[in-house]
Amino acid sequence: MHEHSAAPRENIAHLTHSLEMALGQNRTLLEDMARFTREESLRLARMQLDHAGAAFAQLHDRHDFSGLVGAQQEWLKQAMQEYATLGLRYAEMFQGLTQQFQSHVQAAASDLQHQAEESLDREKGMPYTQSGMRSGPVPMPAQ
């Protein structure tokens, strides 16, 4: 009787531990994402300031309308290239985070499945061996 009441407590403790680990991993992933976002935003802002400074220098040196339009187009082209590069870097970051998250979820699901099977076998009186395989009575073939 005591054995049956301990099993649910063990399961709850193990589930709680698994959830704490998952939350810790999610926190780490979110921190990585926030750091990446902050660094990329600062990099983009610096690039935009550099491009704007170069564009103003070109505008100052050019006095005709076609020169002004050319300088504006160059500034716009550089800005669009930076935004496209930033979009690609974000896509790479999200792909990496998705793969990490997927592997964490798969590991947690596998662990929970293993735990549930152990719990069911304990209730049936069939403990697991060290290799993780079920041990228990082997049915004899009918003669």
Nearest to 78 by CA among 51, 42, 49: 51
77-98 pLDDT, tens digit per residue, is 888 888 888 888 888 888 888 8
Question: What is the predicted pLDDT for the residue at 127?
Answer: 53
Q: Which helix (H) or strand (E) holds 132?
A: none
pLDDT at residue 6, rounded to an integer: 63
**Which tens digit of pLDDT belongs to each residue from 119-130?**
777 777 755 554
Q: Which residues lie below 8 Å from residue 129, measured CB to CB, with a gap of 6+?
A: 135
Residues forming a β-bridge with 134 = 128
Six-digit token pair at 14? 């193990």
